[in-house]
Structures are given as C-alpha cells and as structure tokens.
Amino acid sequence: MTEFHLNTRLRQTLPRGRVTATRPAGCPTIALHLFDPAVLEGPLSQDEARAVQVAPAYWSFCWASGQVLAQYLLDNPGLVKGKRVIDVGCGSGIVAIAAAIAGAREAVACDLDPDALTATAANAALNGVEVSLCPNWQQRPGHFDIVTAADVLYDRDNLPLVEDFARAAPSVLLADSRMRDFTHPAYQLLATHEARTWPDLHEFEEFNTVRIFGSGEAAGEAGFAGTSQENQLQQPLDRQYR
Ligand SMILES: C[S@@+](CC[C@H](N)C(=O)[O-])C[C@H]1O[C@@H](n2cnc3c(N)ncnc32)[C@H](O)[C@@H]1O
C-alpha cells in the first residue's frame, strides 16, 4: 500500500488532499501517512467543507488520544508485551502500531472504515511492524488479552462498547478527549496528558486534554476496591450517564 493509494482515497472527500509521512508530536517514535496541511493554500470551499463533514477521513489525522495512548504503551511495554491486543477505532493505526513495537504477540487494528484499515496497513509497513486488520469489533478474531480504544466516544452510540470491552477482555485501556465527565465503575483514571490532533485542527482547548482510563488488570488492584468486575458492571451504562 502506497501514498498513491491513500491519496486516491483521501481525494474522494477532498480533491486537493494529499498525505505525507510525518511524526505526531505526541508520539514521535511512530511515522504516519497523514493529511498534508501544505496543500491548503486557503480555507476550504463550501463544497469541500461539506464533503469533509459528510465523510470525514478520520484516518488522515492522528487524534490527541491516539498519540497519548500510543506513547503510554511505548512507555509501559509490560501492558502489552507477549499479549494479543485489539485497538478499536484504529484510524491511522497509531495505537496498534505502538502495541506491535512494544512487543505484543499480535496487534489487531479494528475500524468500521475500510480506508482506516488501508491506512493502518500502510502505516504499519512504514514502521516495519505487522498489524492484523479487523473490520468490526463484533467480528473480532478470538480472545484478546487487552482492548485499547482512543477517541471513539465522540460518537455517543459507542458508549455501550465501554462496557462490552470490559466484559470481553481482562484488561482495557481507553483514552478520551471528548467526554469531560466520563465515569464508569469498571474504569479508573490512570493518567492525564496534553496533546493536539496532528496535523493540528485548532480545536477547542478542552479537546487537547486526554484522559487514560484502565479497566481490569490494566488498572491494577486498586481499581476495584475489593468488588468483582462482574458486580461493578451490573448497572446498565445508559443509566449511569443520565
Ligand atoms: C476520531 S478517530 C480516532 C482514530 C485513532 N484512534 C486516533 O486516536 O488517532 C475515530 C475512529 O474510530 C472509528 N470508529 C468509530 N466508531 C467505531 C466502532 N464502533 N467500531 C470501530 N471503529 C469505529 C472511526 O471510523 C474512526 O476511524
């Protein structure tokens, strides 16, 4: 998979779009083919802005949470070393690539957007690692030791996944910059970091604060205060967010 293929896909939504290999400031170890802001000599036309809104090429940006979670895995390789890891909502693939670099037995990148999987394959090759691809969490291949997900809660329809992840795997790491008030009894706040979408979308400052939440083994003993994970998950998630 080459830049040519990614450019072809990007131009479905942004005819003057182009990707370029770059290293996000929040996780500079990893190189990614991302949107090249140099092509934008002026603001987007109305048609371009509409096309981007209708079918955003999320994979052509590296989101703040992806950078922070990828760096977290590189700094704490024991979380994934020797394990089967699945990253849900992989976008550019940065978190799955970080898991592979950190020594995961298998790193699987999952995204509903086929172009994200194409970009992930290209980015894995760019970094010299192997990442397997999966088009849908519901169709994941087998059992995983750890689930990761970065910036997928912008879509509130994904909230039930949080609970699903905790039931499906002994360990979950969730990074989010979109839900300021996220709490769930199975998840514990592990770290807070600042990062910006790369290339920078000049979003609201509040979207530059990333929180990492852990569930199960990733959260350590303290996360459950003596209560079983099963018990903590008994209250339906939608009730907890009201
Ligand atoms: C904001 S982007 C974040 C990408 C990447 N995790 C990062 O941090 O750079 C969200 C990605 O999640 C994908 N996505 C959203 N809901 C999903 C779901 N239920 N299952 C799989 N992928 C999903 C989107 O297609 C998109 O690629």
Residue bearing tokens 């940065």: 94
CATH number, residue 124: 3.40.50.150
Identify the band that residue 232 occupies on the pLDDT scale cut at 50, 70 and 90.
Answer: very low
Whose alpha carbon is nearest atom 14 of ligand 1? 89
Q: Is the pLDDT of residue 238 over 50?
A: no
**HSE-CB of 96 using CA atoms within 13 angstroms:** 33
Residues 53 and 108 in one domain: no
Residues 43 and 117 in one domain: no
What's residue 205's pLDDT?
76
Task: Confirm or reject: Cβ of 194 under 6 Å from ligand 1.
Answer: no
**Mean of the pLDDT values across residues 45-56?**
71
Residues 92 and 156 in one domain: yes
Domain final residue, candidates 59, 74, 96? 59
Task: Confirm or reject: Cβ of 155 under 6 Å from ligand 1.
Answer: yes
Q: What is the percentage of the chain residues whose pLDDT exceeds 70?
A: 86
Which range among 64-68, 86-90, 147-151, 238-242 shows the weakest confidence by mean pLDDT? 238-242
Residues 73 and 34 in one domain: no
What's residue 227's pLDDT?
34
Residues 54 and 119 in one domain: no
Name, of 15-24, 97-106, 179-188, the range with top average pLDDT.
97-106
Contacts of 179 (CB under 8 A, 6+ apart): 153
Residues 131 and 71 in one domain: yes
pTM confidence score: 0.89
Residues 29 and 125 in one domain: no
**Mean of the pLDDT values across residues 40-55?**
70
Whose alpha carbon is nearest atom 7 of ligand 1? 66
Residue bearing tokens 């039930």: 160
Task: Confirm or reject: Cβ of 198 under 6 Å from ligand 1.
Answer: no
Residues 55 and 91 in one domain: no
Residues 99 and 147 in one domain: yes
Domain final residue, candidates 59, 88, 103? 59
What's residue 43's pLDDT?
67
- The number of domains in the chain is 2
How far apart (Å, rounded) are the C-alpha atoms in residues 118 and 7? 11
Residues 143 and 33 in one domain: no
Task: Confirm or reject: Cβ of 71 under 6 Å from ligand 1.
Answer: no
What's residue 83's pLDDT?
98
Q: Is the pLDDT of residue 53 over 70?
A: no
Residues 116 and 224 in one domain: yes
How far apart (Å, rounded) are the C-alpha atoms in residues 95 and 72? 9
pLDDT tens, 117-150? 999 999 999 999 999 999 999 999 999 999 999 9
Give the mutation target among 30, 34, 52, 58 for probing the ligand 1 site: most ligand atoms within 8 A of CB: 58
- Domain residues for the domain of 45 are 3-59
Q: Judging by DSSP bridges, how do beta strands 106-110 and 84-88 pair with one another?
A: parallel
Residues 179 and 233 in one domain: yes
Whose alpha carbon is nearest atom 27 of ligand 1? 91
Domain final residue, candidates 44, 59, 74? 59
